Amino acid sequence: MAEQSHPLNFLFGTWKGTGKGVYPTISPFEYEEEISFTPSPKGFLIYSQRSWTLDEVKKPLHVETGYVRVPNPKKVEMVISQPTGVVSVEEGTIDGTVIQVETISLARTSSAKAPYVTQFVRRFQVNVEESTLHSTMGMATEATDLTQHLESTLKRID
């Protein structure tokens, strides 16, 4: 699939900015984040995300990697692995420059810590004119219902 005609070409590149995190079991926090969507010759995208603290130490907070597949122009699939021992398969829709996905399957290693994640819901929205990516992620665990966890606004840096 040529890059120009790819249904997600509006996502291609690296995005960087700041965000806020909240969750019932932790104190609110702010972070810096970088997300990349890199097209491959086979048509899928290589996805990578990393975040770190805003202070001068820049302590790593989270990282995840995976793949984004588009089986048809309105459907999107993500396979994402995290160093916490969680792997998620998420499916959803493409609507203009918005993609939304939610968990259809989760697996975890035997050392992943409880309470176990049971669901992710993600939304990526690109404002092409402003060259920004607004990202949100909701999460549920065995102990907490689905709740918005992360929200960031990133600027395209390449």
CATH number for the domain that contains residue 131 = 2.40.128.20
- Total count of domains within the chain: 1
Q: How far apart are CA 63 and CA 134, in angstroms?
A: 18
pTM value?
A: 0.94
Q: Which domain holds residue 120?
A: 3-156
Give the model confidence (pLDDT) of 132-149 as tens digits: 999 999 999 999 999 999
Question: How far is it, in rounded angstroms, from Cα 76 to Cα 82?
Answer: 20
pLDDT at residue 26 in the model: 95
Name residue, tokens 């996905």.
101
Cα four-point dihedral sign 47, 121, 79, 12: negative
pLDDT at residue 54 is higher than 60: yes
pLDDT, tens digit, for every residue of 9-51?
999 999 999 999 999 999 999 999 999 999 999 999 999 999 9
3-state secondary structure of 63: strand
Three-state SS for 93? strand
- In 3-state terms, what secondary structure has residue 84? coil
